[in-house]
Amino acid sequence: MSSVNDCLFCKNLKGHIKHARVLMPWINSSKLIIDETKNLFLTYELFPINEDPYFLVISRNHITSFNQIKENIDLEMNQLIEGIFNLHKKKHIVIFEHGGQIHEKRSQSVHHAHTHAILTNKKYFEQMKEELNKIQIPFKILDFDNFSTQSVLKKNAKNQSYLLFRQDNRGIFILETPDLPIYSQFFRILMNKINNQRPFVNWKSYNNVDADVIRARLNSIINSTSVEAATGVLVIDKNQEILLLKSKKEFDCWVVPGGHIEYGESIEDCAKRELKEETGLDLDDIIFFQTQESLTKRLSAFGNQISGRHFIFLNCLARTKLLKPEVSLDSDKVDYIWINPIKALKQLQINEATQKFIRKYIKSL
């Protein structure tokens, strides 16, 4: 049986980092933890050799399945994975995990439940189904509403061991049985086969070329910083009411339309584009209003204060001569409302950045 001392992620991930320091003695361990919540860490997978951004979401507690966390961690996991998905300009996200129980004759080598998250432009889902049908492994198709997996898996896996592969919002679920024991790296091996390449390094045995690739990749990761530029658009109608959207990504909080500014795009052009994409409104009366900064400070597991995501919002005001024009919502939004801005702050659950925007607008009147 594996012991606690064999675990890669115990003692604030120092076990995980120990293997990286064989290759990179200079590595700064605190840089490898990207973000964290009450129950989870977000860190880099240390040993891929391809260029797709690759991360792990890891339980803080010494457990082998996220099902063992009694609290609902959907919000936490969605927050962590949505952050990396928005940061990297990739079309798809692949998420896979193995939730296992410790068996009498077999135990997992890693005691902390963890989810793999890979940002990629490649499509795997249909090919993965074909591979499973070839080797006659039964599976079930699951649908997901957000980046978290916990609630859906609790319903389907309960206390049994399972394997999950999902691309975007569709998942392939395999329930492990005594007659069907499955290696925890099963889906990663199938991804290698579909790619017809070897994108991952076995940290127990690697060659010098692999080591050089890993060193270069991690060196670029831990020495990089980024600030995200985005715009928010406060739309005002003929009756001076504002438009707010209820967002699934924000767990049903109300927000203004908006999004990341693309390279070469002006602030006003971004505002016009995002407004059209998220609401169907095509407005020309758009002016820049304010700069707003959002910088999340947090205390890392290593005791030093580091920053989370850093946004610079270049917010705009958009006006329509119509009274409460009809809105066509995109798939991420579930509802919309035209409302007096003061009443909105008193009555609605609005995310923090949007609250600050509305208050600044009211003060300007």
pLDDT confidence of residue 12: 47
Close Cβ partners of 4 (under 8 Å, ≥ 6 residues apart) = 10, 62, 111
pLDDT for res 304? 43
For residues 189-193, give the mean pLDDT.
Answer: 81
Q: In what helix (H) or strand (E) does residue 69 lie, and over which residues does it extend?
A: none
As a whole number of angstroms, the distance between CA 348 and CA 342 comes to 10
If DSSP codes are grouped into helix, strand and coil, which group holds residue 156?
A: helix
Q: What residues contact 246, with CB distance under 8 A and at least 6 apart? A: 252, 253, 254, 255, 333, 334, 335, 336, 337
Q: Provide DSSP, 295-333.
A: EEEEE-TTS-EEEEEEEEEEEEEEE-SSSS------TTE
107 confidence band (pLDDT: 50, 70, 90): very low
**Would you call 184 helix, strand, or coil by DSSP?**
coil
Nearest-angstrom CA–CA distance, 52 and 122:
10
In the numeric block, which tokens belong to residue 194? 């579909």
* pLDDT of the residue at 267: 96
pLDDT value of position 83: 83
Mean of pLDDT over the chain: 79
Q: How far apart are CA 151 and CA 144, in angstroms?
A: 9
User: What's the pTM value of the predicted model, to 2 decimals?
Assistant: 0.58
Structure tokens at 83: 């952050």
- Cα 30 to Cα 12: distance, rounded to the nearest angstrom: 10
Phi, psi at 51, each rounded to 5°: -95, -5
Give the tens place of pLDDT for each residue, 222-242.
555 667 899 999 999 999 999
pLDDT in tens, 162-177: 888 999 999 999 987 7
Choose among 173, 54, 172, 153: nearest CA to 113.
153
Q: Please name the residue that has the structure tokens 């949007």.
A: 354
pLDDT tens per residue, range 345-361: 999 989 888 999 999 99
User: Diameter of the chain by CA atoms?
Assistant: 72
CA distance 338 to 326: 10
